[in-house]
Chains A and B, each alone.
Chain A
Amino acid sequence: MRHTISVLVENEFGVLSRVSGLFSGRGFNIESLCVAETMEPQVSRMTIVTSGNDQIVEQILKQLNKLVPVLKVIDFTGVDTVDRELVLVKVNAEGDGKQEVLRLVDIFRARIVDVAPRCYTIEMTGGEGKVMAFLQMLRPLGIREVVRTGKIAISRGM
């Protein structure tokens, strides 16, 4: 089962390799990982998407907690969250394809951020399902490149 784990860490040198080394050293998966500073500059947040059975995920959470610079570990499974991913797509835009791209951009509430003679670069945010659907719709037009940030998540306000 997939889990989205939010990890608050000391914003110090080497902390990313401690976390990633833990995953690789123990054979855990990382599907995506995002890191940036929080409101408190000494603290960073990592959002990690991983998968495994309950026992593996329990180990992942415990092992993360055991690292000295890790301050807090939250498993978002079963928690009501908002999650988003940002994706940049460079897609062919020629002839009739141009209109199709524009139509899809409109439907998915995406934005065109760069225009070249034969291709558009599109920015789109959304949950995982939306991102996958958007890419699937663009595929027949000819996707040249996709860059994704990986998922970030926040629990819903209480």
Chain B
Amino acid sequence: MQMTGAEIFVKALADLGVDVVFGYPGGSTIHIYDALFKNVKVRHMLCRHEQGAVHMADGYARASGRTGVCLVTSGPGATNTVTGLATAYMDSIPIVVFSGQVPTLMIGNDAFQEADIVGISRPCTKHNYLVKETKDLARIIKEAFYIASTGRPGPVLVDMPKDVLAASARYDLPKEVSLRGYRPTYEGHQRQVESAVRLLLSKERPVVYAGGGVILSNASGELAELSRSLSLPVTTTLMGMGAFPGSDPLSLGMLGMHGTYVANMAISHSDVILAVGARFDDRVTGKISEFAPHAKIIHIDIDPTSIQKNVRVDIPIVGDVKDVLQKMIKLVKGKKEATAFQGKTAAWRGQIASWAKTHPLTYKPSKGKIKPQYVVEQIHKLTKGKAIIATEVGQNQMWAAQFYSYEQPRTFLSSGGLGTMGYGLPAAIGAQVAMPGSLVVDIAGDGSIQMNIQELATAVQYRIPVKVVILNNGTLGMVRQWQELFFDGNYSQTCLPRIPDFVKLAEAYGAKGFRATKQEEVPEVLRKGFAADGPVLIDVFTDPGEMVYPMVPAGAGLTEMLLV
């Protein structure tokens, strides 16, 4: 059956089960928009900025596990997606971005709204394509979704020249994808797994270090089963929040620069680390030469390049986290070695419990000021830990990670690797679209929120009931914190004197605005805001001087924590 490229595009998306596309139209994609107009299966959501569109696709993917889809035009439309692509790439999030391109014959001529987006996006995509002929379009779309969602997931960009979309070809969506250069390893090597278990059971001070890979692999159940059957303490990375229940007695919380005292002490004094779908990022390890000096390291990762990249690993296991954990469980579950191991590691767990007890996460209340940590605690209390929390980047992100207990995977959405300010609101919108029955809250700062605040219009237009809580301290708090600690308190360019009035702004967009300026108002304002219909913005005036603790200064070892 002959169809235009634009019709092929829409039909392929529908056939692949895509229910929503986040996008923004333009000259190069106008044929697609015409085809979308006539199609009822694929819903399109009009964003207000292409960066918002990519983050929505990303938030949709993180919350649901399905691949997020974004559609933009050529030139600036495409370049506006770069930050979103890099965000998804760093955090291994499956999204496919489709960009329009100028007609094939004009490529390279500096045509109007031309940008070499395939060249620009090459280092921040898992793979990308320029479609040269209409007959290849369906196959490439199929491949793009396959690459994005398999192996270590990541963003894929497909660039589609206007003439390719206008021309006709037979619709031929392949059933199977065959790429001889792309064959991810899912199954962990059995003998390596056996060695890993042997090593683990031979030690006395074990810690599990779990990252975003556990969530991406849908292996939270396996992680909990393994940890409980061996009484293994578990610390998670920022990306791993929710991979292991925060309220579990074995949970140590987050490790790293702003990790808990107990997590950093445990990892530093451990004699064996089971790293699961984590990549030893510098924000996790601190000074690499002082990282876990006594520990043997077992590293499970689906991406071979993550292994031996930052730290030396004693037992590498390349494979899908879920598969490897299942194999490990089979080797230990109900075995007497497991019981013996639990016995000999009891003293270690006692040590951990005392670290947790002496140095819990905490903050000092100060009279007349709202503490941001208190606000996050109240959000947790009000939502009973069941909301999907998106964050912006900076102090708000760290407090959201520290003072909200995540019990389920896919409930904490945050730009961990790239640290993209402006991520939270669009990601929350995308998550809400994917999970209409959930309460979705963006914990924001007054700096970050302004980087994509225009997406409030999208939320209002489509009646997406996200709740934004701004921890409004009138500063770019995390940079200010560094200036306070390491730059003599020179608050260079970090003051945002509470501009704009977010309540009025919310109302101008047609959303509801609430404000709290006193601590005692916070619970009630949050309750009212979360109960209100539609998108809501809650502006909370927090203490500008509050800092995120514990803190491991950049370049220091994990045990050198600054505490409250």
Contacts and interface: CB of A to CB of B under 8 A. Distances in A.
* A joins B in a complex: yes
Interface of A: 9-10, 13-14, 17-18, 21, 25, 55, 58-59, 62-63, 65-71
Interface residues of B, number: 18
Q: Which among B118, B119, B181, B303 has the highest number of chain A CB atoms within 10 Å?
A: B181
Given A13-B130, A14-B118, A59 B182 contact: no
A68 B305 contact: no
B562 to A, nearest CB: 32
Most chain B C-beta atoms within 10 Å of own C-beta, residue among A17, A25, A65, A66 = A66
B179 interface: yes
B127 A68 contact: yes
A62 B130 contact: no
Contacts of A68: 126-127, 147, 179, 181-182
B395 to A, nearest CB: 31
A141 B123 CA distance: 46
A55 B308 contact: yes
Interface-central residue, A67, A68, A71, by most chain B CB under 10 Å: A68
A25 B89 CA distance: 14
Nearest to B305: A62
- Which applies to chain A's interface (DSSP): helix, strand, loop or mixed? helix
Which 4 pairs of residues, A with B, have the shortest CB-CB distance?
A62-B305, A68-B127, A68-B182, A71-B181
21 contacts: A9-B181, A10-B181, A13-B130, A13-B132, A14-B118, A14-B122, A17-B119, A17-B122, A18-B122, A55-B308, A58-B308, A59-B305, A59-B308, A59-B309, A62-B305, A63-B305, A67-B181, A68-B126, A68-B127, A68-B147, A71-B181
Nearest to A67: B181
Contacts of B147: 68
A21 B122 contact: yes
Nearest to B180: A71
A68 B122 CA distance: 12
B534 interface: no
Contacts of A25: 123
Interface of B: 118-119, 122-123, 126-127, 130, 132, 147, 179-182, 303-305, 308-309
Contacts of B127: 68
Contacts of A67: 181
Contacts of B303: 66
A109 B304 CA distance: 46
Contacts of B309: 59
A18 B126 CA distance: 11
A69 B181 contact: yes
A25 B305 CA distance: 15
B304 A21 contact: no
A70 B309 CA distance: 20
Nearest to A9: B181
A23 to B, nearest CB: 11
A70 B181 contact: yes
Contacts of B305: 59, 62-63, 66
A69 to B, nearest CB: 5
Contacts of B181: 9-10, 67-71
A62 B304 contact: yes
